[in-house]
A and B are shown apart, each in its own frame.
Chain A
């Protein structure tokens, strides 16, 4: 889904860059408040893992392929879309500058699509479908429309799908793709790629829950959540 140089006029790239930088500054602000000895190694490992897994394209029907992005996964693990913005930005910088994967002029648009849209859609979809809370016995449980794993799967699928839709809108505005067909092709391909994203996201988060449940932010919810399991704003301790 990395938009290369030349797909978007430079003046539009500039607009996307400005928006992306604003989100990046907000992500850094989140980082200053929430990063600590415990979650820094996880952030670093996720950046390395996402870079690696982004290089593994899986074949999909109609002669195409796709790879995982991981923004929803990071946002759900940290219960913050800002974590996804930060990690995807780092990965995009390495991919674009060192490996020529994704353009330099289009890096702002790519961060908006994969990091911002992926992270925010992934996190808020998951939150809308499933609400973790800590019961009075101290055990973390959840309530919602879907189970924990289905909600994570659906959220990560939608994150990829809507990221692709946003990219198609940008390319439609740029005049690179006709809008209707662009939406159809990008949406169609990424609806298939999203299934792969959903499966890997569920596998990674469920593995992390088995190995290091203390690293998942929903396991660090304050006890106060027990009284209000439907709260929209579960507080995650920052330190």
Chain B
């Protein structure tokens, strides 16, 4: 990876991490557009059928309680997961493309 791309990667991750750290403090706790629509149109639909129990439900690390740290750590994990998965997937696709060529 050349220097420009490494700088892009580092700069982009820093921006994402800053957003992640700020998110628990600045994000609105109002329901989102879909939840607001459901509250008006069909509140019963909001009951989770429990098909899947996510490890960090509601973007919080369970054992860190309700502190902002629980949200920050969860978001940092999410950012690094999205980054890592995207990198691995795109690298695999690129290599498969090279092989085909």
Contact = CB atoms under 8 A, between A and B. Distances in A.
B94 to A, nearest CB: 4
B93 A28 contact: yes
B5 interface: yes
B97 A32 contact: yes
Main secondary structure of the interface of A (DSSP, over half): helix
B65 interface: no
- Size bin of chain B's contact surface: 35 or more
A31 B87 CA distance: 12
A93 B6 CA distance: 26
Main secondary structure of the interface of B (DSSP, over half): helix
Interface stretch (A40-48, A118-126, A149-157): A40-48
A45 B16 contact: yes
A1 B59 contact: no
A50 interface: yes
Nearest to A58: B28
Given A28-B93, A52-B20, A94-B82, A66 B33 contact: yes
A190 interface: yes
A55 B75 contact: yes
A48 B86 contact: yes
Interface residues of A, number: 73
B70 to A, nearest CB: 12
Interface string A45-62: 111111111011111101
Contacts of B57: 99-100
> What 10 pairs across the A-B complex have the smallest Cβ distances?
A45-B12, A100-B54, A189-B33, A47-B86, A32-B97, A31-B93, A185-B37, A64-B36, A48-B83, A65-B28
Given A40-B87, A56-B22, 4 more contacts: A1-B34, A2-B34, A51-B81, A62-B36
Interface of B: 1-2, 4-6, 8-9, 12-13, 15-17, 19-20, 22-23, 26-38, 40-42, 45-59, 74-75, 77-87, 89-91, 93-94, 96-97, 100
